[in-house]
Amino acid sequence: MLGENGAGKTVLMRILYGMHKPDQGQIFVDDQEVRIDNSAKAISLGIGMVHQHFMLVPSLTVAENIVLGLEPTKYSYLLNIDKTLKDIKSLSDRYRLQVDPKAIVSTIPVGIQQRVEILKALYRRAEILILDEPTSILTPQEVESLFEAIRALKQQGKSVIFITHKLKEVCAICDRITVLKKGKVVGTVDRTQTNSDALAQMMVGREVLYTFERKQVTPGKIVLKTESLNASNDRKLPALRDVNLEIHESEILGLAGIEGNGQTELVEVLTGLRESRSGKISFLGETITKTSTHRRIEKGFANVPEDRQKTGLILDFSVLENLILGRQDKPPFATKWSILDLSNCSKFAGQSIEEYSIRTPSEHTLARYLSGGTQQRVVIAREFSRKPKFIIASQPTRGLDIGATEYVHTKLVEMRDQGCAILLITADLDEMFALSDRIAVIYEGRIVALKERSETNELELGLFMTGGKCG
Amino acid sequence: MGRKAIQARRVNELLLKIASSLPPTVVYQADKTRSRVRSFVTSFPIKIGQNLKKSLRNSIPQIVAIVVAFLVGAVVLAATGYSPIDAYTRLLMGAFGDSYGIGQTLAQATPIIFTSLAFLFAFKCGLFNIGAEGQLLIGGMAAALVGISFTNLPIYVHLPLALLAGAAGGALWAFVPAVLKAKLDAHEVITTLMLSYVALYVTSYMVNYPFKAPGIVAQTPFIAPAAELPRILPPTQLSGSIIVALIMVGITAFVLQRTTLGYEVRAIGLNATAARSGGINVKRGMILALVISGTLAGLGGAGEILGVERRFIDHFSPGYGWDGLAVALIGGLNPFGAVLASILIGALRSGGLVMNRVTGVPLDVIYVVQSLVVLFAAAPQLMKSLSKKRAVNWQTANHILTKIRSVLKKVGDRLRRR
């Protein structure tokens, strides 16, 4: 099932899983018309779903999560742990989904958590498995093992609905492909009778720009430099170990890595939200290790955070109010008595809405009511209109459709061409290669590789990202 | 009417005479100012009208909550054998029927305006200041001490000084939990609540020992006349405190909506992570919000002491601080809504007394209604769904109501027979 963000894939799947009521129409399972009023009904019909955001209890073990609600019992009240473990063992052997049943879910990587979700569905005797964008959070290696598992499922006679907006994956794993656009089926094709260009054409109705023109710009002087930077995470464990980075003018430095290897902490330390334990950060030659977030913004920092709804925007603030965040205390937005100058704010909001094509009914609309892509435009408008010298962009296109992604990419390169130093943190290797001038890999808080873009490839990066163990 | 017209013409003539004797630039300036004022004044009703429409729409849940609370109160009244219509008429007449009633209603509302503003301001920053009671007491005590300490200051020094002392007292009492919150992450609900008890007993000690006036009652001596806030509508208890309160309403609304400080406070309250990431100093914002909150509550205490009591009497507050929390919620967490809600509660209090005197309905019924308003206002989702016509199944509602009424009536009858 292929489609852009907002094409209606998830809604359709939620209907199949009984989480959403259709207005009209019929659903057939094994040629029988069925009514699916709730998830329990869906499960009893043999439909299983792996949500984009997992529905696991983090503090329980893998085994407990899999059997949750259907626990095998002894003497009808005691948990039959042996039987549970045996059942799970046989399931995971059959479908090549290896898990450690006794591990606590919160301690295992997302790739394994996903396996747990799949096993959970299989344990409920699912014949039809719905996987909602299963690869969006996986590393290349994890994706490969997921595909292996899907092939095993297929061999055992299961049907799998694989939802994605990545063409590569569709070509790699699917037999038939249904393309959805704006809530309508554009068509269903056999994989053997199509190619990725044709699919992209169906998906967006226009040729997609995979690459775009990049001017050759020679990087200038060092803008941001870190020297043996060390920092801890929230649990007081070391998260950054001796990080040395240099980012130049007119340069995009890509930072690749599996999530949770210190990227979040690095961003927080660089923006002044987290204290470093040791090391030095300098900005245009000036030490700023202890400088506040506010002062750093004044000096020319911009941050496009990973989670635009939690960190990037104040959802219950209007577009206007969001646009002035970070400059609410300075002219032209505030007078010297710290009273907001509403007419200047409004003028600025109008300009930004036009310049960054923010699709909003008005500047007073709450950010909450905007689509994901539009919300990201608000963040970008706010950060880039400050004329920053250094930009941190974390997962800047996560969850955005192709059009919005293209926009973000164009803007980032535009800023680079104008002389900005940019640190790009992304899990999407295509994006990494499309934008970066140099690519660094972070693994367990350490920079394990630093390469010119032209001197490396996805496979090599994937190896560095996983510590070189898999391959 | 004739006299007024003549007066107006005379004033006009006088003004014209003055104007013609002025140099032309001044006249020009005055003209400009006048046209500016006129355009402001003429555009004002439109703006107010637009805002009113919007705020009316926004306050539907609150209005429904009040109506439902009165309906349920009517059931309680009917069940205990009183006529709801009669009782409510007396209540309304008592609260708004004459100038005495209005004065008392507003006098009762005044301290609650302060405390609801206090709760609201901290709440906008995501903080639950439930210690307005303590801040009010300390503010009142500080004002009283300044009031009794000087005897020969002129009013324009003494009164502002006493008010300032009240504000500072409240601010200080909120500063402690604010710092504990910012530095040690101590939860403000616990600290402000506990400090309220400290305030209660500290002030109690002060009026019982060091500052006790001669006599049996635990109270300070009277404050100097120069520190008194004048009464507005004697013999009611309405004092200049309400003017201070209304000024504070304006300032609070302005600060929240139109200043950098208000922007930052609201940003922190809505999403502290994003605010911090946007360079806002969250700890500083929280401290400021709590201190301002305490200042407002402290001013409320000072207003009561300087305007109504004229001395600090032990336990003078019947719980204004706690009322503030409820009223802020009824008022939809909006400064102007807080005024209206305060007046509602004030009316219930002052009208309730009249109702009690004339019809014999126990005051407790009034407290039931008041609690119900709060209860329903605190469930905005419920009220929203009730206010949608489709959601209300009147038949079922009626059925349930008659059932409740018959049951309550039986209980009431039995109680009365005993």
pLDDT digits (tens, 9 = 90+) for A6-57: 677 878 888 999 888 888 899 999 899 999 988 889 989 999 999 877 889 9
Please tell me if residue A275 touches chain B, with a CB cutoff of 8 Å: no
Which residues on A lie below 8 Å from B273 (Cβ)?
310-311
Strands A238-248 and A438-443: unpaired
- Considering CB atoms only, which of B258, B277, B281 is closest to A305? B277
Span of A226-230, A361-365, B10-14, B121-125 with lowest mean pLDDT: B10-14
Q: How far is B275 from chain A (nearest CA, A)?
A: 8
Residue A367 · residue A319 · CB < 8 Å? yes
Q: How far, in Å, CA of B1 to CA of A13, rounded?
A: 76
DSSP A332-378: TTB-TTSBB-HHHHHHHHHHHHHHTT---S-TTSBGGGS-HHHHHHH
Q: Look at B267 and A311 and tell me if their CB atoms are within 8 Å.
A: no
In degrees, rounded to 5, the angle at the alpha carbon of residue A182 between the alpha carbons of residues A179 and A187 is: 25
Please tell me if residue A338 touches chain B, with a CB cutoff of 8 Å: yes
Please tell me if residue B266 touches chain A, with a CB cutoff of 8 Å: yes
Q: How far, in Å, CA of B36 to CA of B29, rounded?
A: 11
Q: Look at B281 and A294 and tell me if their CB atoms are within 8 Å.
A: yes
- Considering CB atoms only, which of B260, B270, B281 is closest to A338? B260
Q: How far is B126 from chain A (nearest CA, A)?
A: 13
Q: How far, in Å, CA of B85 to CA of B94, rounded?
A: 14
Which residue in this structure is represented by tokens 């300036």? B29
Please tell me if residue A39 touches chain B, with a CB cutoff of 8 Å: no
CA distances from A214 to A126, A410, A415, A416 (A): 48, 9, 12, 10
Q: How far, in Å, CA of A352 to CA of A321, rounded?
A: 12
* CA closest to A308 among chain B residues: B274
pLDDT at residue number B418: 57
pLDDT at residue number B400: 62
Residue A85 · residue A101 · CB < 8 Å? yes
Q: How far is A329 from chain B (nearest CA, A)?
A: 6
| Confidence bin at A71 (pLDDT 50/70/90) | confident
| Residues A132-156: tens digit of each pLDDT | 888 866 777 788 889 988 999 999 8
pTM to 2 decimal places:
0.73
Which residues on B lie below 8 Å from A297 (Cβ)?
278-279
Structure tokens at B318: 């019947």
* CA closest to B271 among chain A residues: A314
Q: How far, in Å, CA of A400 to CA of A94, rounded?
A: 36
DSSP A61-84: BHHHHHHTTS--EETTTEE-HHHH
DSSP B278: T
Give exposure, B240-250, as e/b (b: 16+ Cβ within 10 Å): bbbebbeebbe
- Considering CB atoms only, which of B270, B273, B278 is closest to A326? B278
Residue A283 CA, distance from chain mean position: 29
Please tell me if residue B259 touches chain A, with a CB cutoff of 8 Å: yes
Q: How far, in Å, CA of A373 to CA of B336, rounded?
A: 37
Q: How far, in Å, CA of B199 to CA of B180, rounded?
A: 17
Which residue in this structure is represented by tokens 């004065």? B103
Domains within chain A, CATH numbers bracketed? 2-204 (3.40.50.300), 222-465 (3.40.50.300)
* CA closest to A294 among chain B residues: B279
Please give the interface size between A and B, counted as residue pairs whose CB atoms are below 8 Å apart.
68
pLDDT at residue number A219: 84
Is the ipTM higher than 0.90? The answer is: no
Q: How far, in Å, CA of B213 to CA of B273, rounded?
A: 52
| Residues B301-329: tens digit of each pLDDT | 999 999 999 999 999 999 999 889 888 88
Q: Look at B277 and A273 and tell me if their CB atoms are within 8 Å.
A: yes
| Residues A424-456: tens digit of each pLDDT | 998 777 788 889 999 999 988 999 999 998 888
Q: Look at B275 and A334 and tell me if their CB atoms are within 8 Å.
A: no
| Percent helix, strand and coil across chain A, each to the nearest 5 | 35, 25, 40
Mean pLDDT of B122-144: 95
3-state secondary structure at position A210: coil
Which residues on B lie below 8 Å from A334 (Cβ)?
259-260
Quick one: A341 exposed, middle or buried, by C-beta within 10 A (0-12, 13-18, 19+)? middle
